[in-house]
Chains A and B, each alone.
Chain A
Amino acid sequence: MRWKKPVCVLLLAAAGAAVIAGLQRLVEPKYMGLVVEGNFTSEYYEETTPHDVIFLGNCEVYENISPIVLWREFGITSYIRGNAQQLIAQSYYLLEDTLAYETPAAVVFNVSAMQQFEQDNESYNRMTMDGMRWSSSKWNAIRATRMEDEHIIEYIFPILRFHSRFKELEPDDLKYFMGSGKVAHNGYYLRADVRPAGDLPVERRRSDYSFDPRCWEYLEKIRTLCEQNGIRLVLMKAPSLYPAWYDQWEVQIEEYAAEHDLTYVNCLEVSDDIGIDFSTDTYDAGLHMNVYGAEKMARYWGPILLEIPGVEDRRGTVSGAARGYKAGIGLDTVWQEKCDFYDRMKASQEEEFARLGYIKQFYIQ
């Protein structure tokens, strides 16, 4: 019976680990209410087919372009790997992470992340990085962007960060204990409410318009990584009216794009061509597009993206080979499900907005 004690200890240890894992899952935020962005990063790993285009960036990306319209009208398979206040370093490591599963033909990076290298709110870091699968990319992303009082161990064991939520547990914490539902549409955050652009804060003059050297360093890393993998990098400035995008910044990005022969589109400058009407196409007074603005953006970007070698109309085809995906899956079937989900959510929000004048899930009293 010499084996009895070690087996007992192992069983007890396993039971303890299971309880801790359960507690951890219980106290982790489920991001199924007002804030849903915390689910964006992890939803990428549920994809079953690869993508020709990957969008990278912060809220100016995940709220401003609809991958469903890109598919429906152009047959472009795309995914947005973006999150709230996603830093450029996080975008780089998310791209690195993406390349572990697939190699897209094009990466569209939104340059507004050049404004700021360091995070000013820890919850944004958590929303971006908690959902990443563990890899050297995640480790490096945490190391590069964690705030001064953030510890890596709190990312390894999120219970150390979120334990105090035991005081504020909600029914949703039990409801989504086994897993949160899908909230985004290939990384796109759908909002069908309308709030016209109004008076925005006046642009403040700055003493220094140069970007943080570390931002340049990571932009260069993104460009190099794309180059090494035969990916076409496209730079974009989304049509967000606020925060301000200064002319001095524009010049620097234009020069960088010209220097490296990159396509750069400032959507603010071509908003008329895109057809954006800031009285109907934004849900938060000009900061972000609603679904109508995002669909217009997709219609504008579709032809541009189709000009990139490797970005093709994939309708009626099967998925190609990629590291993280099985080849030969019918794309129409896969995307039809996505379109249905998109249409249902859009219709539901439109109905709710027409009836109430707001959308309950996102309404702050």
Chain B
Amino acid sequence: MSLVSYDFLAFFAIAALLYYLVPGRFQWMLLLAVSILFYAGGGAVYLLYPLATAVSTWFLALRIGKADSVSKAYIQEHKPDKEQKKAYQTHIRKRKKRLMIAGILLNFGILAVLKYTDFFLQNLNLLIPLAGEDGSVWQAGWLLPLGISYYTFQTMGYLIDVFRGRYKPEKNLVRFMLFVTYFPQMTSGPISRFDLLREELFRKHAFDGTQFTFGLWRILWGFFKKLVIADRIAPAVAMITSSPETYDGMYVLLGMLGYTLRLYADFSGCMDIVIGTSQCFGIRLPENFQRPFGAKNLSELWRRWHMTLTGWFREYVFFPVSTSRFCRAVSHLAGKAGLKTLSKKLPVYTANLIVWFVTGIWHGAAWNFVLWGLANGIVMMVSQEFAELYRGFHRRFPKADGSVYGAFQKVRTGLLFSVLLMFQYYSFGTVFAMLGSLITTGRLSQLYDGRFAELGLAGADLAVLAAGLILMLAVSVLQESGSVRKRLAERPLVLRYTAVFLLFAAILVTGCYGRGYDASRFIYNQF
């Protein structure tokens, strides 16, 4: 069921009504029931995947937790000496590790097989002629269960946390299933942590009019971003980015900016709907965006964009890899060889490249996504290398830290982010060819040469788009000094009603929904 559909609105209204009608102790059970119904809407058979993940992870985490209890009990009972205790703990840790690895292999294995089989086979098909053979292997064409990346990452985060002893495993399978399948976040994230979400999911929630209203406002804002901005610009962006032979020069810039805006409005709009929906149930979910285009460098932008995913990679990939035995050994070797600076940076850079490789392939099972990921990683590493130079520049010109330079940094970062995104929709060679075309042939007059008219954006569309972007920018600026909704709530009734009504009317009239439009999917649903 799409979050942008009449069905979802009806589903949400009924679920919210029932949620506040049932006694508090049954609320989480109701949530589980509606979550399963929500997921089954896309085909009951696909429920097997999250259920398999939930059951396997719950069981393995429980075994890991049990190993800890057994270990403690053994030590208390037998009071072993230091050596024996250490040996026993190592033995237990190995057992726990085996359980964790089994869980990771199983669940990431399901994800990898479903998501990357075709990618693997495509590459195999490329290699067959090189080996002097004819023919090609079949393509699997398997359908990806909705939100598989999100619930897999979330549950694996849980398993690793239990392994690390960060919190105790959940004993109740049914409760754990709600953590895995909680419907607002299941299809597009955000990726939550069990210890934080548990508190929210399983406590009683009395109806809170303010929270409910705030949730509805946020949903409305999400619909605005998705239906008025993202889906309006989407067809034109798709035309530009899929036809580099037609749309070169100035259109490269147009496509670049349009692609970024569309991606942001689509994904952050989706998050607004998800988090707003959850807020209506009294359940807070982690934020996924924090005004990313206010960032002054790429690293900062990535700390503000898809925050729960980047956080997950930092926590469960970057830190373990950078502190791994392998990285330590390589670093040690480099140190011994007299490469002191390199030995310090090697573990970080290795982990960085691995994280960005995984980030790339997570976003799409294709080499251009891998390149996009690695390009981000390399730019950040290069930027890191120049850090001392920047600091020197600012020491020399302290006034360059003013607001104008700050604005320049934000624009530069946004542009850099957009340029790197070109790797997602162009092939490697085309990226450079198109950038070359922009620099050498890009002229404003190209926008009047008839190609723009073919993009399907009428004057009314451009006016709506401009107004929508200004509103989105204004809200973003206002958010810097606190919650816009809180401030709106403090205004007189007539004023806040008018503001919300205007937003609603704008979506109703200018939104891209219904016949002739396909607003049924969010970009980030496909992971």
Contact = CB atoms under 8 A, between A and B. Distances in A.
Given A27-B509, A160-B514, A167 B461 contact: yes
A153 B6 contact: yes
Nearest to B498: A12
Given A8-B493, A8-B494, A16-B501, A164 B508 contact: no
Nearest to A26: B509
Interface residues of A, number: 22
B458 A20 contact: no
B418 to A, nearest CB: 28
A359 B10 CA distance: 48
A199 B365 CA distance: 56
Contacts of B460: 166-167
A153 B512 CA distance: 17
Interface string B485-527: 0000000011001000100010011111111110000000000
A189 to B, nearest CB: 26
B514 A163 contact: yes
B281 to A, nearest CB: 24
Contacts of A270: none
A151 B6 contact: yes
A16 B460 CA distance: 24
Given A5-B493, A8-B493, A12-B493, A166 B510 contact: yes
A167 B494 CA distance: 29
Given A5-B493, A166-B460, A167-B460, A161 B501 contact: no
Interface string B447-468: 0000000000010110000000
Interface in A23-54: 23, 27
A321 interface: no
Interface in A1-16: 5, 8-9, 12, 16
Contact of B505 (A19, A149, A150, A161): A19
Given A154-B514, A164-B514, A20 B461 contact: no
Contacts of B513: 160, 163
A159 interface: yes
Query: Which secondary structure characterizes the binding site on chain B?
Result: helix
Interface in A113-152: 122, 149-151
A12 B501 CA distance: 10
A23 B505 contact: yes
Contacts of A166: 460, 509-510
Given A16-B501, A20-B505, A163 B510 contact: yes
Contacts of B516: 164
Contact of B508 (A9, A150, A163, A167): A163
B508 A159 contact: yes
Contacts of B458: 167
B509 A23 contact: yes
Contacts of B517: 164
A94 B125 CA distance: 60
Given A163-B509, A167-B461, A149 B493 contact: no
Contacts of A23: 505, 508-509
Taking each of B461, B497, B514, which has the highest tally of chain A beta carbons within 10 Å of its own beta carbon?
B514
A8 B512 CA distance: 32
A25 B278 CA distance: 35
A12 B494 CA distance: 7
Taking each of A122, A149, A163, A166, which has the highest tally of chain B beta carbons within 10 Å of its own beta carbon?
A163
A8 B501 CA distance: 15
Contacts of B461: 167
A168 to B, nearest CB: 8
B515 A149 contact: yes
A27 B508 CA distance: 11
A173 to B, nearest CB: 13
B515 A122 contact: yes
Contacts of B508: 20, 23, 159-160, 163
A271 B514 CA distance: 45
Contacts of A16: 497, 501
A161 B517 CA distance: 11
Taking each of A8, A19, A153, A167, which has the highest tally of chain B beta carbons within 10 Å of its own beta carbon?
A167
A154 B513 CA distance: 11
Contacts of B511: 163
A161 B497 contact: no
Contact of B509 (A8, A154, A159): A159
A19 B497 CA distance: 13
Contact of B493 (A9, A122, A159, A167): A9
A37 B133 CA distance: 65
Nearest to A150: B515
Interface in B1-31: 6
Nearest to A157: B508
A12 B498 CA distance: 8
Nearest to B500: A16
Nearest to B459: A167
A151 B516 CA distance: 13
Contacts of B515: 122, 149-150, 161
A327 to B, nearest CB: 44
A118 B30 CA distance: 40
A359 to B, nearest CB: 30
A5 B509 CA distance: 29
A154 B514 CA distance: 9
A161 B515 CA distance: 7
Contacts of B505: 19-20, 23
A125 to B, nearest CB: 11
A160 B517 CA distance: 12
Nearest to A147: B515
A21 to B, nearest CB: 12
Interface in A160-201: 160-161, 163-164, 166-167
Taking each of A153, A161, A164, A167, which has the highest tally of chain B beta carbons within 10 Å of its own beta carbon?
A164
Taking each of B508, B516, B517, which has the highest tally of chain A beta carbons within 10 Å of its own beta carbon?
B508
B514 A161 contact: yes
Contacts of B6: 151, 153
A154 B494 CA distance: 29
A9 B496 CA distance: 11
A122 B501 CA distance: 30
A12 B500 CA distance: 12
Contacts of A149: 515
Contacts of A8: 493-494
Contacts of B494: 8, 12
A29 to B, nearest CB: 13
Contacts of A150: 515
A154 B5 CA distance: 12
A12 B496 CA distance: 11
B493 to A, nearest CB: 6
A63 B512 CA distance: 37
Nearest to A8: B493
A335 to B, nearest CB: 41
Contacts of B512: 164
A166 B516 CA distance: 14
A232 B513 CA distance: 46
Contacts of A160: 508, 513-514
Nearest to B461: A167
Given A163-B510, A166-B510, 9 more contacts: A12-B497, A16-B501, A23-B509, A154-B514, A163-B508, A164-B512, A164-B516, A167-B460, A167-B461
16 contacts: A16-B501, A19-B501, A23-B509, A154-B514, A159-B508, A160-B513, A160-B514, A161-B514, A161-B515, A163-B508, A163-B511, A163-B514, A166-B460, A166-B509, A166-B510, A167-B461
Interface of A: 5, 8-9, 12, 16, 19-20, 23, 27, 122, 149-151, 153-154, 159-161, 163-164, 166-167
Which 3 residue pairs across A and B have the least CB separation, nearest first? A167-B460, A12-B497, A163-B509
